[in-house]
Structure 1
Amino acid sequence: MNPFQTLTAEIPVALAGLRLDQALSEIFPDFSRGRLQTWIKSGAAKVDGAVLPPKHRILGGEYVVLQAEVEPDTAVVGQDIPLEIVHEDDDILIIDKPAGLVVHPAAGHSDGTLQNALLHHAPELAGIPRCGIVHRIDKDTSGLLMVAKTLAAHNALVGQLQEHSVQREYLALAQGAMTAGGTVDAPIGRHPRDRKRYAVRNDGKPAVTHYRVAERFPRHTLLRVQLETGRTHQIRVHMSHIDYPLVGDPVYGGRPRLPPGAGPHLIACLQEFKRQALHAEILGIVHPATGEYCEWQSPLPDDFAGLLDVLRAG
């Protein structure tokens, strides 16, 4: 594999006034600021054809060409873990992730992750930042995830995420009876007391979630949710913030809300659903190589579908 790949981008006007290294860290978030500074100083990053110092203040609208040298990630090893591959070609992989599978190794999950599985399936992904994973979904959320197989594809997909042009639609079962859909536009940051949680807070990062009603039940609502941004736990935090937390959410869900006159089977199903009822159903992107719009859809997993059947039966 060629360790050098050319990445290109136009610096958004919104980044005007930042230092060049700061702007590039926003555009290419999978590379550290130190690595980007090294590339800038060595002439590997050119702005409108010129080599500029890291401290140069950008105006916005400049065209950047970056000759990126990526070292293989040897910290994560491949493991023979089954993958549900929805689509694969020379540039991208689309994975249907089951609930319970962690995406990246982290404290408490050093192996047995999607990243380990991807490296076993395609060892060349070691040369791509985060082994090609450009976005993630929570461990106990199921559904579609995209993976880049080349640096160029990685750059293109990250760009689409930053431009909010990726189509991501989730099915979510919320507690409470909603009368209509809406939008939650509320910044999200770390919870002030619990670092493992997130919360709506004024100094958080911008976060926008759109939702519409798909099906109503006496004390629950099935929602179709679209993300405009992609903050950690965004749907879960936003739905809890407006007092419609997701069924089964162990962190933001609170106590189960039982329908009036619910039978023992329904009560048991709601109490025993121990993960957030959230499924990444639809994923749509512009293919980084062909330029064509592509879209995939994932069926609901059995546990989520079964819970809906019980709710429909009353």
Structure 2
Amino acid sequence: MTTIRHEAVVPLGAAGRRFDQALAEMFPDYSRSRLSGWIRSGAVTLDGVPAPPRQLLRGGERVQLQVELENEVSSAAEDIALAVVHEDEHLLVLDKPAGLVVHPGAGNPAGTLLNALLHHDPRLAELPRAGIVHRLDKDTSGLMVVARTLPTYTALVDLLSRHEVERQYEAVVLGTLVAGGTVDAPIGRSLGDRLRQAVRDEEDGKRAVTHYRVRERFRAHSLLQCRLETGRTHQIRVHLAHIGHPLVGDPLYGGGLKLPKGASAELAAALRGFRRQALHAEQLSFIHPATGEALSFGAERPADQQRLIDALRADLAEHGSDHY
């Protein structure tokens, strides 16, 4: 259990402000909702006594905050290997393999990234979601950042909400695109299947923007670079399917097997054997919340995606670009 202690004096400029509003400005490392909860619990005092969140201040009061952080996560720690790309006292950057579920849930009560994180650092049990501030789908590989302290958790959530975490992906899709572009289409839960997301109208969906460019074209497929401006569930998968170029292997949004004319047995086997969405989070960049340092990390594409791309390149080399 970790104890948080802070003492401060209410600035004179905060006179007439509500207690909870002023506290959020005095302690920006913690979210407003968390600070309000601490006020209501009596963990924050004004001049030594508890005060309601809406109490108006005169300025100059002495604020004391003392909180015992109890576990917010009840899942068990499990000894699951983690590919740690970067680690310091504030955060972790991980390269998640395809097939690893991020959070425990229905059908996946254990064996998740969260369980692995609790084994790596038991103190993460004191943080919401064990410090996980964003996620990747089970069968998407690549980079994730995880907070190790409550202030870092708050700061990373804020960076994500302001779209100041750059996330770049590599995708293999059906069809040959001539040029890159942007998909700006709201996303919400599908009305026909609760496991799926779908492009919806602005009233029912949340704003979602994906930028993409073509890296390579093959005879019946394309290799894309995708950059998220927003971070909705299944965003890249939904958006690329929406424009008619679903991800190879995608079980929810894919368009099925597509073999170019005269495809070799090797290419047919590579495409049939790729049983997950061909999506890899290859680059992650952000400003370190504690140090202010600009950080950028890369993760090599996984072996199965490399084999798929090699097979597509070999097919193109055999048949030539005139067979698009």
- SS where residue 226 of structure 1 aligns? strand
Distance (Å, rounded) in 2 between the aligned partners of 1:5 and 1:259 = 64
- Pairing 1:2–2:2 present: yes
Paired position in structure 2 for 1:245? 246
Question: Letter of the aligned partner of 1:277 in structure 2?
Answer: A
Structure 1 residue runs of 4 or more that deviate by more than 2 Å after TM superposition = 1-6, 30-33, 35-46, 50-54, 66-71
* Residue 198 (str. 1) matches residue 200 (str. 2): no
Decide whether the 8 Å contact of 2:73 with 2:126 is kept in 1. no
Seen in structure 2, the aligned counterparts of structure 1 residues 307 and 68 have a Cα distance that, compared at 3 Å, is farther
Contact 1:169-1:280 at 8 Å conserved across structures:
yes
Bigger-Rg structure (1/2)? 2
TM-score, normalization by structure 1? 0.82
Give the equivalent residue in structure 2 for 1:162. 161
Task: Among all aligned residue pairs of Structure 1 and Structure 2, give the percentage whose two residues are the same amino acid.
Answer: 56
CA deviation profile, 1:188-208 (whole Å, cap 9, x unmatched): 111101111100011111111
| Contact map agreement 2:73 2:127 (CA 8 A) in 1 | no
Counterpart of 2:92 in 1: which secondary structure? strand
State the number of aligned residues. Answer: 282
Q: Contact 1:41 / 1:53 at 8 angstroms: preserved in 2?
A: no
CA distance in structure 1 between the partners assigned to 2:72 and 2:36 by the alignment: 20
Relative to structure 1, the CA distance from residue 160 to residue 68 in structure 2 (aligned partners, 3 Å threshold; closer, same or farther) is farther
- Contact 2:287-2:294 within 8 A present in 1 as well: yes
Over residues 23-72 of structure 1, what are the superposed CA-to-partner deviations in whole Å (9 max), with x where a residue is unaligned? Answer: x9xxx9x9897x776446457799xxx97549xxxxxxxxxxx9876421
SS of aligned partner of 1:311: helix
Determine helix, strand or coil for the equivalent of 2:284: strand
| CA offset digits 1:223-264 (Å, max 9, x no partner) | 000001111100000000000000000110021221122112
Cα offsets for 1:274-297 (capped at 9, x unmatched): 000000000011011110100110
Is contact 1:187–1:201 with CA below 8 Å preserved after alignment? yes
Distance (whole Å) between structure 1 residues aligned to residue 114 and residue 205 of structure 2:
28
Contact 2:73 2:129 in 1 (8 A): no
Judging changes above 3 Å, is the alpha-carbon distance between structure 1 residues 263 and 193 closer, same or farther for their aligned structure 2 residues? Answer: same
Any idea what SS the aligned residue of 1:173 has? strand
Alpha-carbon RMSD: 2.8
2:78 corresponds in structure 1 to 79
CA contact (8 A) 1:5 1:152 kept: no
TM-score, length basis structure 2 = 0.80
Do 1:84 and 1:96's aligned partners in 2 also have CA atoms closer than 8 Å?
A: yes
**Is the contact between residue 134 and residue 147 of structure 1 (CA under 8 Å) also seen in structure 2?**
yes
Q: Is the 8 A contact 1:45 1:51 kept in 2?
A: no
Show structure 2 runs of 5+ residues with no match: 7-19, 46-50, 56-64, 316-324
Look up the equivalent residue of 2:2 and give its one-letter code. N
What SS class does the counterpart of residue 2 from structure 2 fall into? coil
Q: Which residue of 2 aligns with 1:142?
A: 141
Q: Structure 1: which 5+ residue stretches go unaligned?
A: 7-19, 55-65
2:250/2:278 contact within 8 Å kept: yes
Q: What's the counterpart of residue 285 of structure 1? A: 286
1:127 matched to which residue of 2? 126
Q: Deviations over 1:177-221 (max 9, x none)?
A: 000000011111111011111000111111110001111111111
